[in-house]
Amino acid sequence: MSFEGKVYAITGAASGIGLSIAKHLHARGAKISLADISEKGLQEAANSIGSEDKILTSVCDVRNLEHVKSWIQNTIDKFGKLDGAANFAGVLASQNGKIIEDQDEEDWERVLGINLTGVMHCLKVQLPHLKPGSSIVNASSIAGIRGLPGLAAYGASKHGVAGLTKICASDYASKRIRINAVAPGTVETPMSAAFVGKNEGYDQWFKSVVPMGRKAQPDELAKVTLFLLGEESSYVTGQVWSVDGGWSGM
């Protein structure tokens, strides 16, 4: 599929799934506006993609509405339009495996702020710039479909993204703007590696509950995301696509 001449905004673009989406869109002709909280990571990502005239990078904390407004305005100023977005900025909780009565308040606010409020900010700012035929994909998770024990903050944030996606899809369907989400299982990303490093035994547990017996590669999530961004999925909206090796089906 071709994205020649299209312009897409991507959060969480410095690494993992977001970076893979950026690379695939760029390779298919799109101009891309990359946002991430890591300035160093953004620069490394841009260098790995190349073609400076088709790339814009912006340091952006999605919890801050003004940051998001500035990023999208800079995107419009540079490229003249916006055709869609992939909102993939996200974090895991600092504490896991604990019940809700032991939930740390600051960690809760951090996770919900980035994973859910951040997506709301992006949708709020991106949607007024989109024309009929545009598409947005948000990042939910298997934890936004299943009730995974010990993941209260992360699971609540991703359930929220799934619900927000469906509601906004309903609100904007008459304008022919599509909004979907993908729900990864466990993926080989720096965030996943950091989580496994801090939580002994989780890696084997993940593999044991996934019927395909392995983690996904970021490219596998990127390809599904591109399908949802592209014209091939023109009659698909308000859906949360599980990309989890069969985990959610068990």
Residue type, 45: A
* Residue 245 region by backbone torsions, left for phi larger than 0, else alpha for psi between -120 and 50, else beta: left
CB of 15 closer than 8 Å to CB of 32: no
Q: How far apart are the first and last CA of the chain?
A: 32
Q: How far is CA 1 from the centre of its chain?
A: 21
Q: 158 catalytic, yes or no?
A: yes
H-assigned helices in the chain = 16-27, 39-49, 65-79, 105-112, 118-126, 152-172, 190-198, 202-209, 218-229
Given the residues 135, 140, 157, 192, select the one marked as catalytic.
Answer: 140
Q: 134 catalytic, yes or no?
A: no
Given the residues 158, 192, 233, 242, select the one marked as catalytic.
Answer: 158
Given the residues 20, 23, 31, 154, select the one marked as catalytic.
Answer: 154
Q: 140 catalytic, yes or no?
A: yes
Buried residues in 202-212 as b, exposed as e (16+ CB within 10 A): bbeebeebbee
Q: How far is CA 50 from the centre of its chain?
A: 22
What's the CA gap between 17 and 84, in Å, rounded?
17
What amino acid positions are annotated as catalytic residues? Answer: 140, 154, 158
